[in-house]
Chains A and B, each alone.
Chain A
Amino acid sequence: MAQVFHRSANVLARASIVGGGLVAIAIVTIASVIYRSPVLTQVNIAKAQPVPFSHQRHVGGNGIDCRYCHTSVEKSGVANVPPTETCMTCHSQILTDSEMLQPVHESWKTGKPLEWTRVYDLPDFVYFDHSIHVAKGVGCTTCHGEIQKMPLTWKAKTLHMAWCLECHRAPQKFLRPKDKVFDVDWKPAADKSERLEAGLKLVEEYNVNVEQLTNCSICHR
């Protein structure tokens, strides 16, 4: 009696064995790529703000120290987004009638606060503390990227847990001398081994208890 399938079907059958596997792999890969991409992480995507505040101008240009605005970065878990008052210390003199700064003056007059859009947004079950990181030689730019080159602020890192752990598992790769913590232009030594060596010294010097850094309760409570 007649065959149900033509001979060629055999080829299809064989191909499907390989094909199936490939499709599966493809799906997984694509999914994880998307998951790590700016589409979801928002990395390198500048956020619109009520006032187009430029770190490039203030930090890169005027060379204002981070702590001038982010006052509590050394004392508290939060770095503090400056109150309108801080802006007004200068802008009551400079650019007083600039269109761009209207919202700031508005807020100062009405007492109604500015509403900035959060750029670095950790999940609420993660308890990050600026003061300890700064005290132990983690520089601003290590996490916030080359802030001095950002006309509008964007997220420089994914904030994935894996990213946190890069440092918490091997801080020597990222630590820098204390006096360079707020230095946005600081660059680690070009040579890898040299860099690591310096890092290890700092870990020693800062008395960083590395194994403790991976305790769950260090970040999660």
Chain B
Amino acid sequence: MKKILLFASALLLTISVEAQIKRPQPQPGPMPTVHVKKPQEFTMKNGLKVMVVEDHKLPRVSYMLTIDTPPYVEGDKAGVSSLTSAVVGNGTTKTSKEKFNDEIDFLGANVSFWNTGASASGLSKYSSRLLELMAEGSLNPLFAQDEFDKAKQQAIEGLKADEKSVASVAGRVTDALLYGKDHPNGEFVTEQSLNNVTLGDVKQNYATFFVPENAYLVVVGDVNFKDVKKQVEKLFKGWKKASAPVATYPEAKDVAKTQVDFVDMPNAVQSEIALVNTVNLKLTDKDYFAGLIANQILGGGGEGRLFLNLREAHGWTYGAYSSLGSGKYTSKFKSSASVRNVVTDSAVVEFVKEIQKIRTEPVTQAELDLAKAKYIGNFVMETQKPGTIASFALRTKTQSLPADFYENYIKSIEAVTVEDVQRVANKYFKADNQRIVIVGKGADVAGTLDRLGYPVNYYDPFANSVEKPVFKKAAPAGVTSKTVIENFINAIGGEKKLKEVKSLSVASKGSMQGMELTMTQKQTNKGQSMMSLNGMGMEIMKQVVTPSMGYAVQQGQKQDLTGDDLKEAQESSKLFDELDDLKNADSFELTGIETFNGEEVYVLKKDKSTVYYSVATGFKVAATEVVEAQGQTFEMTSTYGDYKEVKGIKIAHATSLPLGPGMSLELKVSEVKINEGVSDADFK
């Protein structure tokens, strides 16, 4: 009997090993605390505060010098601080730029400088040399005229490149309106203000603000406090005691009642929407952690309500997020997204709805738990990164945090309740005092904004108030799609002349990210077309279309055009397509007169394309195509200008070619050949 039992239990045992083993999912342990290494500190007579965290796990060291400069207004010299950043670090009064950089390279180290600080990191065996290099670059910068000129030129080019960028105009206007142009956060750099800055101003900026009174040097790594102290005292002894002036500027004020602020950018293919209000939320405020979580739930990421609503449920945008600023100075709460033109007003409605909802209804416990888990997870991963010890130590000083702020961070997050979230949402997400800044294409968008029920104000791209522009007006009587097309044909030479053209070859030049590009376009009246873009001695892009086939080659990948793609390409490959359009002029809809780049234009629409013809000259100014890719809709706009006569026909000599959303290639025509230089071999 006993034997049988034994046998049975042995059998059971084998069964339980072979069969599935049910093991419940473990519950998380108590939330961990972050053990932030406490720095050893000393303060020099000139005011420089030094914090050293010895960390001997790896033989490396990092130095970070930060000057905690109170914000100031740069005024008509806006850009002086960024130019100062660009100039410091390019050599010192003792060492040439080449020699200085060569040594850093040799050491395998990273060293950089900016207008209010410097950093250096590398192997700890070079710790003293690294500190010497950083001190030398910080305290004896070389202000060379050529480096200054170069930096200024680059800054101006940068501004120009951004001129038509809807996103950067949106950023500029949003801050200028929210804070005011006379506020450090609201002012912006212009070509004019950059041109006002001289090398002398840069030197002055450095002399005024690169001072030790509110400077912190944080040293982390495999070093010894005593050695560091000795060396820092020696190297930074000559840094003369001074403090940066505390600037005064008007305080930013929220609007009394929520309003829409609209900026017209006729080239916009998406509207940039930002709902903003100012925030004064210190890291030491009792609302701080609840604020982080409330923002996380509203729009902190892919699980945020804004994302789930505007992207997942409606598919209007690639992403919608919110952010809540904090710190010892005024910052902002912002909810934003880039959405398709036609859904601009609907998107605003959903933004407002979500902000109202988190203010009036308690969030669910599940949402709160997920937001905390994500937030804590992210925070914890952050603490693991090199550099975090230094930034914690620094922020503890500059934001006057209690010594155990980061130790208690997770606990503080955990303590946030559903009620806290609602309370802080009411306090900081100021639904009734927001500016809803929209930058977009007025002709498509502006008409819908009045429906939102808020006052609507209009601004130019530099945040200057303007009268409500006329975005669209009716074409005068007698003007039809047919007369517009006829007008264009006559303006460039007339139907007879155009029909004599058998082939057209246009070569143009442009540049992109410093790369010289050449483009060749060839077309015949037999429906053949070829376009090839070359740079750096190689072909970047090519497209060939004939009445029987078509293909495109991009970055080495060849793709045959088929079906509708081929048909579309063939249709747009006609030489002077207006000649054809004229026959079917009725298929175009003349929607009225709009403004394109400051010029009045007739707008002709057909399916997914829109063509703009100048009211004054009759020339074609631009054409756009609506393109769908990866679930997103884009408008690709080509522009045409500088029409010049070649063999009796006027050809646009300045064109721009769309390369993708927000990207275009500006081209200048270098050679035009009519009825020569083109053969069937070009279209193989």
A is bound by B: no
Q: Which residues of A contact B (CB under 8 A)?
A: none
